[in-house]
Amino acid sequence: MNCSFSPLRGRLAPSPTGALHLGNARTFMIAWLRVRAAGGTLVLRMEDLDHPKNKPGAAQAALEELRWLGFDWDEGPDVGGPCAPYTQTERKAHYAQALAQLQQQGLVYPCICTRRDVETGQSAPHAEDGLYYGGVCRDRFASYEEAAQQLPAGRLPAWRFRCKEGDASRVSFIDLCAGLYEQDVSQAVGDFVLARDPHGAGYMLAVVIDDAAMGITEVVRGDDLLPATPRQLLLYQALGLTPPAFLHVPLVVSEDGRRLAKRHGDTRLCALRDAGNTPEKIIGLLAWWCGWAAWGECLSLHDLLPRFDLATLPRTPAVLTPAVKDYLHCT
């Protein structure tokens, strides 16, 4: 069942795989401003499917830190709403139903390859988005059970999406920030994993099912997910769902241009709070990165609303310079 809504519905989708940092906060700030400036509805969805990487207490801490920074949302795990539940591990029945639909359409197949098999099968490096799968298990097994029999006890086949050849796998869309983006999914990544076992959907399927079921009309997220979007668009199409608009924003990076890591300094929101920074100081800095505030200005999210302008958002990454680290007493 899909809820249908208007006008704009956006979402914040934290994963409890670690503590929220400045980069997450900047992306969420833009997502919040987009929805609030348009008088829309903001959904918070907890993306906790990635069990082995989840940190205990991280989901609760994320909600608390976002509230501390001044964020609010209209629907979510802690406030409820018409599309509940808002936590992915409680939504597995939806993913199973979608997988069953794709099975009936012959659009998925069981795969017994390990990550290692896939790595060794790579003929050329596919820089864009990790591993390319050449389709070794495509048309290899008559059934899931037959595939499972090939595996030692304790291991289960995954389900992969069967990319069509030719134009059917060529996706192009206009991202509201990044502009035209094109990818031939069958060339760039090949048949991709939807579920690691028959009971567990992965991110790619879950995010599509949830955004559609929650009536999300615009997805704002980091541009590290730009290369994953064509796969998601193929899924929308296969499942007969309407895709949202996408707005991928540049990440916060270190001075060497890399993704933020511990060695670049402790930019976790909890650490910045412990170091004595106020929410207004942090929001002011995030806004300065976006070109909407002067250096050193302290602002609330609401103060920023009249200044918010997507047109002036830099299309290049924000950089964690020594000056920013000093300013935030970032260790």
- Alpha-carbon torsion (113, 48, 27, 161), positive or negative: positive
DSSP state, 139?
Answer: T
Structure tokens at 296: 């050193």
Is 15 a binding residue for ligand GLU by CB under 6 A? The answer is yes
Could you give the angle at which helices 203-213 and 229-238 cross, rounded to 10 degrees?
60
Closer by beta carbon to ligand GLU, 66 or else 293: 66
Using the contact rule CB under 6 A, the part of the chain among 11-19, 117-125, 146-154, 180-188 near ligand GLU is 11-19
In the complex, minimum distance from the CB of residue 114 to ligand GLU, in angstroms, rounded to a whole number: 25
Specify the stretch interacting with ligand GLU by CB under 6 A; choose among 13-21, 145-153, 182-190, 238-246: 13-21
Closest separation in Å from C-beta 14 to ligand GLU: 5
Rounded Cα distance, 223 and 207, in Å: 16
- Kindly state whether residue 207 participates in binding ligand GLU, applying the rule CB under 6 A: yes
Single out the residue of 47, 48, 75, 210 in contact with ligand GLU (rule: CB under 6 A): 47
Nearer to ligand GLU among residue 28 and residue 109 (C-beta):
28
What is the distance in angstroms between the CA of the first residue and the CA of the last residue of the chain? 48
Residue 70 C-beta: closest distance to ligand GLU, Å: 20
CB of residue 166 to ligand GLU, shortest distance in Å: 28
User: According to the binding rule CB under 6 A, does residue 267 interact with ligand GLU?
Assistant: no
Rounded to whole angstroms, what are the CA distances from 29 to 12, 60, 61, 66, 132? 9, 19, 17, 10, 34
In our burial notation (b when 16+ CB lie closer than 10 A, e otherwise), range 152-183 reads eeeebbbbbbbbeeeeebebebebbbbeebeb
The site for ligand GLU (CB under 6 A) is made up of 13-15, 47, 207, 221, 225
